[in-house]
Amino acid sequence: MNDTANGSTLGNKTALRRELKRRRRTLSLYQQKQAATNLCQRLKQLPEIRRAKRISLYLPVNGEIDPTRLLPWLRQRKVSIYLPVLRPFSVNRLWFVAYREATPMVKNRFGIAEPCPRFAADKRNRLPAWALDTLIVPLVGFDKQANRMGMGGGFYDRSLAFMRQPGPTPTLIGVAHACQQVDALPIEPWDIPLDVVASDTMIVRPIKTG
């Protein structure tokens, strides 16, 4: 499953994104569940997860690997959990809103469950991204340098653009199925780099230079 994309495909991000999304959708329900279990076992070992007190994760759709098996473990450890929510009156930006067992949920325009607008609009239920310890973000693809391909909307890149400036920043952990790995991904100037990628079979960290 861990076959790589060729050069011509890498030159066409749309085609590559389509192919990687197809790969994850072809996984059986059993494979999806097993991958989620293996992923969460790996995530629990990461120091960036173990020391975090405020974590954002996501609710999976369309074959995305499922990080929600972490929820009981995180709640047992008294970790505050947040979800990305489409920010109203803003172009492709996110809020990070508290996710508790009693949080009222609705589906957004992409069919993804998120805290309802009234709950999300209450500032007491939100946290600025810089105040999070760790973000677990979904990937369409990743490579051996922990470069990331997202859905193409730029939601995370816009919402985390502050990370290019001095100041507090969260740890970014991308997660995906192992079949979503390719040899190399094109890097855009606006891409916010990941600190680590976790899949159901491996942990990938970027090689530090300088």
14 appears as a binding residue in the annotation: yes
**Which residues neighbour 22 within 8 Å (Cβ) at sequence distance 6 or greater?**
none
CB atoms within 10 A of CB 51: 10
Is 174 among the annotated ligand-binding positions?
no
- Is residue 146 a known part of a binding site? no
Query: Known binder of ligand: residue 13?
Result: yes
The answer to whether 183 and 4 are in contact (CB under 8 A) is: yes
**Residue 75 counted as an annotated binding residue:** no
Q: Is 148 annotated in some ligand binding site? A: yes
> Nearest to residue 5, comparing CAs of 137, 141, 138?
141
Q: Give me the helices (H) in the chain, please.
A: 7-10, 13-25, 29-45, 47-50, 71-76, 117-121, 155-159
Q: Report whether 51 belongs to an annotated binding site.
A: no
According to the annotation, is 154 in a ligand binding site? yes
Radius of gyration of the chain measured on its C-alpha atoms:
17
150 is an annotated ligand-binding site residue: yes
105 known member of a binding site:
no
Residue 162 in marked binding region: no
Q: Is 156 known as a binding-site position?
A: yes
CB 143 within 8 Å of CB 113: no
Query: Does the annotation list 110 as a binding residue?
Result: no
- Strand 54-56 and strand 80-86: the pairing is parallel
Q: Is 7 annotated as a binding residue?
A: no
d(CA 158, CA 190): 8
Sequence ranges of the binding site for substrate? 59, 64
Sequence ranges of the binding site for ATP? 13-17, 148-156
Sequence ranges of the binding site? 13-17, 59, 64, 148-156
